[in-house]
Amino acid sequence: MVTNIAFLLQSIAWPLVLLAAWFLGELAHERWRIPRVSTYVAVGLLGGLVNLPGLTTDIQGLPFLANVALSLVLFELGYRINLRWFRHNPWVLALGVVESAITFGAIYVVTGLFGLPEDQRLIIAALSVSASPAGVVRVANELRSAGQVTERVLHLCAINCFMAVAALKLVIGYWYLSTSGDLVLAAFGSIHVLVTSVAVGGLLGVAVPWLLRLRSTPERGVTVVFALSVLLLTTAAFGFRLSPLLAALSFGIVARERRVHLTNAQRDFGTAGDLLSVFLFVYIASLLEWATVGTGLLLGLVLIGVRGASKAVCNVAVARLSGITERKGLLTGLALTPMSAFAILLLDQSRLYGFEPAVQVLAAIAAMMLLQELLGPIVTQRALMAAQETHVTKE
């Protein structure tokens, strides 16, 4: 009898938690204007805390599904990137690169004060460069946000993601070289993955718009084709051990340049995108182990402060040069606070590919991930609202 009950709970755990996350997300958003994604994370954390059977066990296929969900968001982020803007305002591109380098350096120095091993310091620094596209894009779409700060946040988020993947792949290559002495394996784990992932995503970004132009495709059909293409890209990336996140971002950027557009109504990829978003944030939260949160709380608070200060100060410093006020520069830096969804999946993907230090790193920064995932979307929401770029209507 007990065995049957345990099996039943394990079987219905995920559907039950996802349903609860959706209902609570709608309730919290309607009553207190809390971003839905923060509530999804809270439900996932609660499920992990009570060790709900079936939620905290390692179920085959869930990492792939989570990568598909995040890849859809990265495609949409890439689709909203205008490369011509970088030519007209090179300060934005320079800011993204320099701020990423400063954040990497600052986090690397600070983690040394806590006596962490060299490889863990490099990994944490690489992850801290990133800003979570899932948190930023979902909140921006939820608020129907548009304007100087919003566009700058999206473009800087894309740059941060690319720089974070590049930095982590180089760290992985360095780790392979230092542990095995195999230069070919090190290059395969870093440079090859970066170049090939961008190339595959770019190739699909050229091919899919070309196929869509062969016949008249309705707007809904365009969305379906792009979603299926992202699924294909993620599957291929897993099969060839590439970066599905970087490939999806490149796919979106090139598709935008090919002048094939999604409408505003199709953002988040409709109902399927909403469902995958709920799953993504609950899944990310379920990966965190509460036993490691308390031990790394001080480190997490320090890292959050240093990372946030780095992004805010850099954006304020070049605000006038890049065409905005210092206040909008500060709001831009604050809006880049979320990082956990992207960072955790990037780390988990590296673990699946055989990168051993990934497990220790996730335990070391569990507190940082928890706080960033819960509070980061709220900071982004408040920053965009303070910039007066939201256009929310009564639903």
Residue pLDDT, tens place only, 131-151: 999 999 999 999 989 899 999
pLDDT tens across 268-286, in order? 787 888 899 999 999 988 8
> How far apart, in Å, are the Cα atoms of 338 and each of 139, 162, 195, 239, 300?
10, 16, 27, 29, 14
> By the 8 A CB rule, do 76 and 268 touch?
yes
Q: How far apart are CA 297 and CA 280, in angstroms?
A: 24
DSSP-derived letter for residue 82 is -
What's the chain's average pLDDT? Answer: 86
Least confident among 30-44, 256-270, 369-383:
256-270
Q: What pLDDT, on a 0 to 100 scale, did the predictor assign at position 264?
A: 47
**In one letter, which amino acid is 296?**
G
pTM, to two decimals: 0.92
Confidence of residue 54 (pLDDT cuts 50, 70, 90): low
One-letter amino acid of 213: R
Is residue 60 packed enough to be buried (19+ CB in 10 Å), middle (13-18) or exposed (0-12)? exposed
Number of C-alpha atoms within 13 angstroms, CB side, residue 174? Answer: 14
Q: How far is residue 116's CA from residue 190's CA, in Å, rounded to a whole number?
A: 23
* Domain ranges across the chain: 60-386
Domain at 60-386, CATH from 1.10.10.2160, 3.40.30.10, 1.20.1530.20, 3.20.20.100: 1.20.1530.20
Percentage of residues in the chain having pLDDT higher than 90: 50
Per-residue model confidence (pLDDT) at position 290 = 78
Q: Which CA distances in Å does 229 have to 134, 138, 200, 225, 369?
A: 19, 21, 12, 6, 30
Query: Other C-beta atoms within 10 Å of 3: how many?
Result: 7
- Mean pLDDT on 159-166: 93
pLDDT digits (tens, 9 = 90+) for 178-226: 776 666 666 666 778 888 999 999 999 999 888 887 777 676 777 888 8
Instruction: State which amino acid sits at residue 188.
Output: F
Element (H, E) at 258: none
Lowest mean pLDDT among 8-12, 86-90, 91-95: 8-12
**DSSP code string of 168-229:** HHHHHHHHHHHHH--HHHHHIIIIIHHHHHHHHHHHHHHHHHHHHHTS---HHHHHHHHHHH
